[in-house]
Structure 1
Amino acid sequence: MARDGALMPTDPRGLRTDAPLLDAWLRFHERAPTPFTIPGHKQRHDLVGDVVAGDVPLYGGLDEVGLTVGVLAEAEARAARLWGADLCRFSTGGATHANQALALALGAPGDRVVVSRTLHRSLLLGLVLAGLDPVWVRPDLDAATGLPLGVPPSAVARALATHPEARAVLVGDPSYVGTVGDVAGLAEVAHRHGVPLIVDAAWAAHFGFHPALPRHALQLGADAVVVSAHKTLPACSQAALVLARTERLDAARLDAGVEATATTSPAGAVLASTDAARALLERDGEALLGAALDVVRRARARLAEVPGLVVLDGPHVDPLKLTLLLLGTGADGRAVERDLVAAGLPVEAAERDLVVAVVTLADTAATVGALVDAVVAAVQRHRGPARPVVTAAAFGVEPEPATTPREAFFAPAEPVAVDRAVGRVCAELVAPYPPGVPVLAPGERVTEAALAALTAARDAGVRIAYAADPSLATLRVVAGR
C-alpha cells in the first residue's frame, strides 16, 4: 500500500517477464539502435520534440519486419487465456477498429443482424462496410433518469422470431453512462436461435477481474467482446482488444476482418501498453481494482448527500463509473464542467443534465477526493430550479426503414431545411444525448414524430449528437428521394 491508501504496483519493468511486447519495447530502448525503418523521426527528439518519445514501430522495432520473433502473437495468446477466449487480436485503432472487424466477420452484404439502437457510430460504419442490414432493438429506458438500460432479452427474442434469417446479435454493454444489461440472457436467446452474440464492451475492460465487479461478457456466454484497454486500464490511447470464442464465429474470417481494417504500421508503444496492462491486470488487478472500488464507494456516499444530486448506483451499474444526474439540483452540467476544467479536473462527459467521470485503477483517494470536492462546490455554485426529464418522447419514436445504411451512406446527400425533410430518407445519425438513442439513422425515413421529438429535446436544452447541424436547422437527406 502507498500514497492515499491506493495499492502501488511494483516497478513496471518487473512486468516484462510476463509481457513480451513490453519486454520488446524496453529492449529496443536499451540497445538504442540507429534504425533504417519507419517512423521517419528515427528516434531523434531534437527535430519536433519529445512528442515522439517512445514511438517504436511493431515492424522493425518490437519485432523483425517478418514478425519472426512472434512477440505480438505471444502477447495476444496470453490475453486470450486471461479472458477465456479462443482468439484475441490487439488493435491500435481502438474499439472502432475492433467493432468494424467483427462486422466484416459476420455475414455477406444483404445479410441481416439484430443490433441495439444504442450502437456506437463505429459499429454503424461497420454495418456500412460489411453491407449488413440492421434489425433494430431498443434498450429499456429508466423513466426517472431518461438514461438507457440494457437491451431486454425479450426484445431480441422477438426480433429473431420475426427475422429468423438474422446472422448475429450485436449490443453495446455496458452503456456509456455505466448501466449494465442482462448479457447472459441475451447470450441464451441468441444461442437458442443458433447465432452469436457480439458485445461492444468498450467501457468494461476491467469487468470480471474483481468479485465486486460484473462478470465480463465472455464469462456470461457472449461469443465475442470488444474492450478498450485505454478506457479503464492503464494503456495508451487507441489500445483495444477483440476477444472471441470460435464455436459460432469463423476465426479465419475474423482475422481477415482485423487485417482488412487495421493500419499496416501499428504503433508499437500502443501494443506494448496493451500487453503491459494485461499483465498488470493478471498479476495485481484484483488488489488494484479493490482499492479503487473502496475509493469510489466513499465518493458515492458523499455525493449522495448533496441535495438534489442523484448518483447512478445499484446492482446494474458499473461500480467504478461516477454518473451524476443534475436535474434535481437545477445546475447546468456544462457550467459544472467549466469549473472542473478550471480546477484541473476534466471529466469524460458533461451535458446539461449529467456529468460522467471515469475512475480507474490508476486513481487514488486524493484524486477522487479532489474531484468530489470540486463537484460539490460547483453544483452549489450553479444551483437553480429543478428540471424534468425531457428525452422520453424521442426514445419512443419508431424508425421507418426506407433503405439500408450502406445504400444511404453511398447515395448522394444534401442538407435541407428541417421543415422540408419529412418524407425524405435520412443520410445521417441523429440522437439526443442523453439518452444517446438515435431517433434517426441513415436509411430511415424522416417522420413528423421524429422531428417533433428531436425539436422538443433541442428546445429543452438537450444536445443533439452526431448530426452535421446540431441546431437542427437542416438535416442531411438522400438527394432526390
Structure 2
Amino acid sequence: MRSMKTLTQEDTPIHRALEEQRLNRLAHFDVPGHKGGRGNKELKHFLGDTTLSLDMNSMKPLDNLCHPVSVIKEAQELTAEAFGADEAFFIVNGTTQAVQAMIMAVCKSGDKVIMPRNVHRSAINALVVCGAIPVYINPGTNKELGIPLGMSVEDVKQAIIENPDAKAVLVNNPTYYGICSNLKEIVKIAHEHGMLVLADEAHGTHFYFHDALPISAMEAGADMSAVSMHKTGGSLTQSSILLTRNTVNADYVRQVINLTQTTSGSYLLLSSLDIARKNLSLNGKSMFDKTIEFATYAREEINKLGGYYAFGEELINGDTVYAFDITKLSIHTRNIGLAGIEVYDLLRDDYGIQIEFGDIGNILAIISSGDRNLEIERLISALSEIKRLHKKDMAGMFDHEYINPQIVMGPQEAFYSNKRSMPINESKGQICGEFVMCYPPGIPILAPGERITEDILNYIAYAKEKGCFMTGTQDMKIENINVVE
C-alpha cells in the first residue's frame, strides 16, 4: 500500500484495488451470492459483466467502510484534500444519512439545534431519532415567486441569543431553488457563541470547484457539511460524502455514522465516489464552465418566451438571498396559469423531457456538463409549446410554497406519542404526529409536533389536486393523518 504522501488527485485507490481483485481470478466463497453474475444471469445480462464482477464485499485488500485503514482511508483523505476539509467520510446511504450523522454527532436528546424550517425531511427525521429539539427560523419569502429563501443573519443572531444552550446551527447551502444564506457571517456569529455550524450541501457539490459560484461550506468555515456527490458531482445515485473540520472529533463522527450505515458498503458506490472526486479535482472548473454556460443560455431564452420567469442573480438582496447558484434552472410557471407540477407532467408525458421536480408554482431543471445543446433547445421549445397550448387564467391558483409552522411539541415526542388516525380534511386544530410532504423536494409541509391549520389543509388539498406526489403519512393514500391524542 502506498503512503498518502505519494498519492495525488490523479489516483483512485478504491478503483485501483477493485480492478486488481477483479483480475486476480480469486475463487469466491464470500458474498455476494450472485458470484460475479454467474448465479443470476438475467441481472448480469442487464447490468453487464464488469458491473457484476466489481460488486464485491469487504475483504482485506478492499478495506472496510466501517473502519477504514487502507484504500478507503486513502480515498477519503484525497477527497478531504480536494474539498478543503480536514476529514471526509464516504456515505453509501445517501446524503440523508450524512445530514442525520451531522445532527446526531452534535446533539443528544433534549439538545437544541437552530435550523430553517425549509429543511429536507432528513434533518427532521434526525430529530425524531435522537430527540433533539429544533429552534426553527422561518426563512425569508419571495412574494412574487411564493418560495422560501435563505435565513436572515439577524434572525439567526436573535435565535442564538435567545437559545444560548443550542449546540449548532444548520444551514441550507443552497436551497433546492439555488438560494444561499450569508453562510460566512452565520459561521462567524455561531462560533462567537460556541455553536457549531452544519451545512446541508445536498445541492452544492459544485461550489467547491468554481469561483463564480457561491462560497462552499468548508471555505466559509462550517464545521461539517453533507454533500450529495451524486447530484452534481457525477457519482452514482445514493453515494455521498460527509466533510468535517478539526473542530469536531472525526473518530466520534465515524462512530455515529456506523450507528446506521450498512456494514456491507457497495463498492460500486464507493468507487464511483473515488472516480468522481478525481474528475472534479482535475476537470471541475471546465465542467462547471459548461454547466454555467448552458444554464445561463437557457435562462435567457426562457425569459424571452414571456409568461415564464427563470429567476437568477437579480434576486440577491444581501440577506435572505445572499448568493444564487447560477447553475440552477428554476422557473416560475404561475403566470401562465399552470402549477409547476402541471408543467412537469406535460414535459414528461407530451415531450419526453424529465425534469427534477415541479411544485405549486415552479419547476426545476438540473443542468450539468453532461447535457447537450440539442436537449437544452428541446426544453426551451417544449416550454414555448406548453405556453401556447395550455396557458390559462391564474384565477384560483395557490400563491405560496411555504407556510410558517406552529410548533406545539418536539418531533420525537409527537412521532412516538399515542396517536389516532382521522381524515385529513377534518384534522384542523390537531397536532400532527407524522410527516406530510411533496416529494421531491422532500421539505415537509407538516412535521410531527406541528399544529394543523386551515392554510396547511388548503395547501395539501391543492397539491393533491394538481398532481404532486405526496408522501410521509402512514396512510399510503394520503386521505387520513395520524394526530397526537
- TM-score interval w.r.t. the shorter chain? 0.7 to 0.9
Match of 1:133 in 2: 133
Equivalent residue letter for 1:361: S
Match of 1:7 in 2: none
Structure 2 residue matching 1:48: 3-state secondary structure:
helix
Deviation at 1:408, TM superposition (A): 1.8
Match of 1:39 in 2: 32
Structure 2 residue matching 1:291: 3-state secondary structure:
helix
Q: Distance between the aligned counterparts of 2:345 and 2:424, measured in 1?
A: 32
- Counterpart mapping for 1:304-453 below 5 A: 304-314=303-313, 316-342=323-349, 343-386=351-394, 390-392=398-400, 395-401=402-408, 403-418=409-424, 421-431=427-437, 438=444, 440-446=446-452, 450-453=453-456
Q: Distance between the aligned counterparts of 1:121 and 1:34, measured in 2?
A: 44
2:78 matches 1:78: yes
Match of 2:43 in 1: 49
Deviation at 1:308, TM superposition (A): 0.7
Equivalent residue letter for 1:358: I
Give TM-score scaled by structure 1 length: 0.87
Deviations 1:298-355 (A, max 9, x none): 1111111111100021153211111111111123444433343244321111235322
2:277 matches 1:278: yes
Match of 1:216 in 2: 216
Q: Distance between the aligned counterparts of 1:83 and 1:144, measured in 2?
A: 36
2:448 matches 1:455: no
Match of 2:241 in 1: 241
Deviations 1:439-476 (A, max 9, x none): 53212344xxx233432563485658545269875321
- Counterpart mapping for 1:27-176 below 5 A: 27-44=20-37, 46-50=40-44, 51=46, 53=48, 54-55=51-52, 56-60=55-59, 63=62, 70-176=70-176
Equivalent residue letter for 2:80: A
Contact 1:99 1:123 in 2 (8 A): yes
2:9 matches 1:21: no
Contact 1:173 1:200 in 2 (8 A): yes
Equivalent residue letter for 2:286: A
Deviations 1:21-40 (A, max 9, x none): 12223333333533222111
Contact 2:339 2:361 in 1 (8 A): yes
- Counterpart mapping for 1:252-267 below 5 A: 252-267=251-266
Distance 1:161 1:337, change over 3 A: same
2:293 matches 1:294: yes
Distance 1:305 1:81, change over 3 A: same
Q: Distance between the aligned counterparts of 1:391 and 1:432, measured in 2?
A: 16
Structure 1 residue matching 2:393: 3-state secondary structure:
coil
Structure 2 residue matching 1:206: 3-state secondary structure:
helix
Deviations 1:411-446 (A, max 9, x none): 232211346534533112235789976453212344
Unaligned runs of 5+ in 2: 1-7, 317-322
Contact 2:338 2:391 in 1 (8 A): yes
Kindly indicate which of the two structures has a greater share of residues assigned to helix: 2
Match of 1:475 in 2: 481
Structure 1 residue matching 2:18: 3-state secondary structure:
helix
Structure 1 residue matching 2:30: 3-state secondary structure:
coil
Q: Distance between the aligned counterparts of 1:75 and 1:362, measured in 2?
A: 24
Distance 1:388 1:128, change over 3 A: same
Deviation at 1:359, TM superposition (A): 1.0
Deviations 1:338-395 (A, max 9, x none): 3432443211112353221111232232332332222322332222223577344x84
Equivalent residue letter for 2:394: A
Structure 1 residue matching 2:74: 3-state secondary structure:
helix
Distance 1:373 1:79, change over 3 A: same
Q: Distance between the aligned counterparts of 1:435 and 1:209, measured in 2?
A: 25
Deviation at 1:252, TM superposition (A): 2.4
Distance 1:159 1:148, change over 3 A: same
Contact 1:432 1:454 in 2 (8 A): no
Q: Distance between the aligned counterparts of 2:86 and 2:440, measured in 1?
A: 36
Structure 1 residue matching 2:98: 3-state secondary structure:
helix
Q: Distance between the aligned counterparts of 1:252 and 1:28, measured in 2?
A: 29
Structure 1 residue matching 2:377: 3-state secondary structure:
helix
Structure 2 residue matching 1:275: 3-state secondary structure:
helix
Structure 1 residue matching 2:324: 3-state secondary structure:
coil
Distance 1:262 1:115, change over 3 A: same
Deviation at 1:147, TM superposition (A): 0.9
Distance 1:20 1:472, change over 3 A: closer
Q: Distance between the aligned counterparts of 2:191 and 2:113, measured in 1?
A: 14
Name which of structure 1's ranges 193-202 and 288-297 shifts more when overlaid on structure 2: 288-297
Q: How many residues align?
A: 459
Distance 1:385 1:422, change over 3 A: closer
Structure 2 residue matching 1:323: 3-state secondary structure:
strand
Deviation at 1:290, TM superposition (A): 0.6
Name which of structure 1's ranges 356-365 and 134-143 shifts more when overlaid on structure 2: 356-365
Q: Distance between the aligned counterparts of 1:93 and 1:435, measured in 2?
A: 18
Deviations 1:235-262 (A, max 9, x none): 1010100001122x22222111111111
Deviations 1:110-160 (A, max 9, x none): 111112101111111111222111111111111110111111121111111
Give TM-score scaled by structure 2 length: 0.87
Q: CA RMSD in A?
A: 2.8
Structure 2 residue matching 1:400: 3-state secondary structure:
coil
